[in-house]
Amino acid sequence: MAQRFGGKYSPQGDNDSTDDGPRRVRNQRVKPAGARSNVLFIPGIVLIATTFWSGAEGMALGLTGAAIWTLAAWFTREGLAAEDAYHARKVAKRPAIPRKIFASVLIGIGTVVAAITHGLTETSAALYGAIAGILHLTAFDLDPLRDKGAEGIDQFQQDRVAKVIDNAETYLSEMADAVRRAQDRQVEDRVERFSASVRDMLRTVEEDPRDLTSARKYLGVYLMGARDAAVKFADIFARSSDRQARSDFMMLLTDMEENYIAKTDKLLQDSNADLAIEIDVLRDRLSREGVRLD
């Protein structure tokens, strides 16, 4: 279904002040799973088309090779998304499954099957498979193979923070999925801005797990409420295009974003205060030991 673009300066746009609000949006990243990975779904379709009339054995091999290639394309796309999430965090565990490595192996196997389907010898098919797997690995690189930024951090605290962050990301994803049903570009952009503010807080808590206690409600109860509000708004707006419901939802996002930004700034200030206290304590200890710092 076509989606009408709306906004302040569009012909059917409005000048609601509900979209005016905090503009501090950081950590914007281009989604990695784009055309570069989606193009890998095409070879499977081509293989099916070229082997469909090759008899029962040829068709079976073609379908098998296409299925393997399609699975490899899916692993590649998921691996790129996992790698992007890994690089977006300063503290992160390596992906549990090396998806891109698995994809390279599957690309090689699928190439072997496709080559045999088209009459090549097993030796030639194996060579083509090895080349295809190496090229895939070269194009998409290895998965992250070790944890990042976890040195000196208590494992229990790190696991607690990771669980809260995963739940928060799930709420944000569900919010984005819900508002898409409303088919209002301005609302989708507003939710994206709000999500960026929440992710600022996530990164702050990730860098200092001691902030988790203070931020838990923001990353749990409040965010779950925002998700529920987004679902209800999408249901109402998709059914009746209620402008008042849209205005109320936009105002809610503005209020929540202001609160999240203020809380994130407070967490950063508290961290700086803790550092100042630790420095003063260290200076006092050194002074008692007869060491003077200029």
Give the model's confidence band at 129: pLDDT under 50 very low, under 70 low, under 90 confident, else very high: very high
65, 114 Cβ separation under 8 angstroms:
yes
pLDDT, tens only, 173-184: 999 999 998 888
233, 251 Cβ separation under 8 angstroms:
no
Structure tokens at 179: 């508002």
pLDDT, tens only, 95-124: 888 999 999 999 999 999 999 998 899 999
| Residue 92: φ, ψ to 5° | -155, 150
Start-to-end CA distance of the chain, whole Å, equals 69
Round the average pLDDT of the chain to a whole number and report it.
80
Residues 160 and 281 in one domain: yes
pLDDT score at 17? 43
DSSP state of 21: S
pTM, two decimal places: 0.58
Closest CA to 47 of 68, 76, 72: 68
Structurally, the chain folds into a number of domains equal to 2
**Distance between CA atoms of 101 and 141, rounded to whole angstroms?**
8
Is 294 a member of any domain?
no
The widest CA-to-CA distance across the chain, in whole angstroms, is 90
Residues 84 and 177 in one domain: no
Provide the 10 A C-beta neighbour count for residue 159: 12
Closest CA to 174 of 240, 101, 110, 224: 224
| Residue 83: φ, ψ to 5° | -65, -40
**Segment of 50-54, 70-74, 146-150, 162-166 carrying the highest mean pLDDT:** 70-74
DSSP state of 220: T
- Out of 94, 113, 140, a domain closes at 140
Is 217 a member of any domain?
yes
Is 75 a member of any domain?
yes
Residues 265 and 171 in one domain: yes
- Out of 140, 172, 197, a domain closes at 140
pLDDT score at 278? 55
Residues 125 and 46 in one domain: yes
Residues 188 and 116 in one domain: no
CB within 8 A of 236, min separation 6: which ones?
Answer: 242, 245
Residues 86 and 157 in one domain: no
Give the model's confidence band at 24: pLDDT under 50 very low, under 70 low, under 90 confident, else very high: very low
- Out of 140, 169, 193, a domain closes at 140
Query: Residue 51's domain spans which residues?
Result: 35-140
Give the model's confidence band at 33: pLDDT under 50 very low, under 70 low, under 90 confident, else very high: low
pLDDT, tens only, 85-98: 777 766 667 788 89
Residues 78 and 126 in one domain: yes
DSSP state of 145: -
Residues 173 and 56 in one domain: no
Q: Locate all alpha helices (DSSP H) within the chain, ordered by sequence.
A: 35-38, 42-51, 55-88, 99-117, 122-140, 155-180, 185-207, 212-219, 221-240, 243-288
pLDDT score at 29? 54
